[in-house]
Amino acid sequence: MTPSYQVVDGFRIAKAFSPDTFRKALSYKPRNDDLFIVTFPKCGTTWTQHIVINILKRGIPPETFKEFQRLSPFLDITGPGVVETMPRPGAIKTHLPFNLQPYSPQAKYIYVARNPFDCCVSFYHHTKEFPFYQFSDGTFDEYFDIFINGQTDYGDYFDHLLSWYEHREDPNVLFLVYEKMKADTQAAVLKIAKFLNQEYEHMFLKDENLMERIIRHTSVENMKKSTNEHFGSFFGLSPNDDQLKDPELPEGLKHILEFMKNIEFTPKPEIKIVRKGIVGDWKGHFSLPQSNRLMAKFRQKIQGTDIDKLWPE
Ligand code: A3P
């Protein structure tokens, strides 16, 4: 069984996505004050989006999910229109490899990497969760083969990582690692604040509860509450006409809802974007031959680089 994908100009994305909107997204011209959060899917995007927004809002979380989406739109599916009119400062989410990413030396980019084992497991659950992939009965063994062959949506995990790793020292790129963010979240929050603007870094000196508030608002437990039901209400249920007629609904999201109207699925009120949020969940999913195969691919792909230093153990 294979999830519902499509290939647009040589790049694999979910079949539910609008190819037109995706092409327009790729041709977006970044503004000088743009900040992007870029990841291969399932590497900690939503967590980083919440941290950044909490910093930008000086420790106040987004009031509603709508506000969260306005401040941090997903360029690949909303297209450039939404990004051009978004409130600023905000943070634009993409999942693009460096060669496809709308790029300007003046814009800033936060890239988050996560170890391929946990990323594969998380992406497997994600693909089963979203009905538009039509993979709810898919097995981990089936998904593993697709992942290791670089045939999931957004292409090969390793090519994506390598494409951004080359730019890790660029002054407008902040290269983060999910496992390090987990090990010392406070340090990651400060690093992000400093990268955004030194004023944000200084904010922590003036407001001694700020760090505690941000860590609390962006914890797995709090984010589960603020995220999973909202994703469920939009992507887990059969779309209704009111949603489709909403004049504010971006073209690319309308395309996804139209796609969902034409498929059969069991409705689900929650989509677990925030699932476990731990390091090492792969150990409960991989067989020994699978972990050996992924490790061999990792070694082969990263030859000539020191990427293995990102995950020392
Ligand atoms: P798991 O599926 O391993 O639990 P993305 O936002 O890029 O889709 O990434 C989703 C992954 O990040 C999920 O991993 C999710 O649980 C994890 N995640 C979400 N919020 C988190 C948080 N506050 N802290 C740590 N991990 C988080």
* Interatomic CA distance for residues 184 and 134, integer angstroms: 37
Atom 17 of ligand 1, nearest CA residue? 277
**224 Cβ below 6 A of ligand 1:** no
Q: What is the pLDDT of residue 168?
A: 98
What one-character-per-residue DSSP string does the chain give? ----EEEETTEEEETTS-HHHHHHHHT----TT-EEEEESTTSSHHHHHHHHHHHHTTT---SSHHHHHHHS-BHHHH-HHHHHTS-SS--EEE---TTTS---TTSEEEEEE--HHHHHHHHHHHHHHSGGG--TT--HHHHHHHHHTT-STT--HHHHHHHHHTTTTSTTEEEEEHHHHHHTHHHHHHHHHHHH-HHHHHHHHH-TTHHHHHHHHTSHHHHHHHHHHHHHHHHTS---HHHHH-TTS-HHHHHHHHHHHTS-----S---SS----S-GGGGT--HHHHHHHHHHHHHHTTTS-GGGGS--
Which residue reads 């992000």 in tokens?
192
Check if the beta carbon of residue 153 is closer than 8 Å to that of residue 12: yes
CA of 80 to the centre of ligand 1 (A): 26
Atom 25 of ligand 1, nearest CA residue? 277
The 8 Å CB, 24+ separation contacts for 306-309 are: 307/161, 307/162, 307/165
Proportion of the chain above pLDDT 90, given as a percent: 97
* Interatomic CA distance for residues 301 and 162, integer angstroms: 9
Confidence band, pLDDT 50/70/90 cuts, at residue 131 = very high
Q: What is the pLDDT of residue 61?
A: 94
Mean pLDDT of 142-153: 98
Q: What is the pLDDT of residue 294?
A: 98
One-letter amino acid at 144 equals: F
Instruction: Ligand 1 pocket test: pick from 43, 122, 189 the residue with the most ligand atoms within 8 Å of its Cβ.
Output: 122
312: pLDDT strictly greater than 90: no
Q: What is the pLDDT of residue 99?
A: 98
Mean pLDDT of 222-234: 94
Check if the beta carbon of residue 308 is closer than 8 Å to that of residue 113: no
Domain 5-310: assigned CATH number: 3.40.50.300
CA of 31 to the centre of ligand 1 (A): 29
Mean pLDDT of 85-99: 97
* Interatomic CA distance for residues 124 and 216, integer angstroms: 28
CA of 242 to the centre of ligand 1 (A): 31
pLDDT digits (tens, 9 = 90+) for 13-42: 999 999 999 999 999 999 999 999 999 999
Mean pLDDT of 240-257: 93
Check if the beta carbon of residue 14 is closer than 8 Å to that of residue 61: no
Contacts (Cβ under 8 Å, ≥6 apart) of 84? none
**39 Cβ below 6 A of ligand 1:** yes
* Interatomic CA distance for residues 91 and 78, integer angstroms: 14
Average per-residue pLDDT for the chain: 97
Atom index in ligand 1 nearest the CA of residue 122 equals 2
Q: What is the pLDDT of residue 313?
A: 72
Confidence band, pLDDT 50/70/90 cuts, at residue 104 = very high
Atom index in ligand 1 nearest the CA of residue 125 equals 2
The model's pTM is 0.98
Atom 8 of ligand 1, nearest CA residue? 42
103: pLDDT strictly greater than 80: yes
208: pLDDT strictly greater than 90: yes
The candidate with the shortest Cα–Cα distance to 38, out of 49, 26, 30, is 49
What one-character-per-residue DSSP string does 285-305 give? T--HHHHHHHHHHHHHHTTTS
* Interatomic CA distance for residues 160 and 147, integer angstroms: 13
CA of 277 to the centre of ligand 1 (A): 5
**159 Cβ below 6 A of ligand 1:** no
Burial class (CB in 10 A: 0-12, 13-18, 19+), 27: exposed
Atom 18 of ligand 1, nearest CA residue? 277
Q: Is the peptide bond before 89 cis (omega within 30 degrees of 0)?
A: yes
pLDDT digits (tens, 9 = 90+) for 288-304: 999 999 999 999 999 99
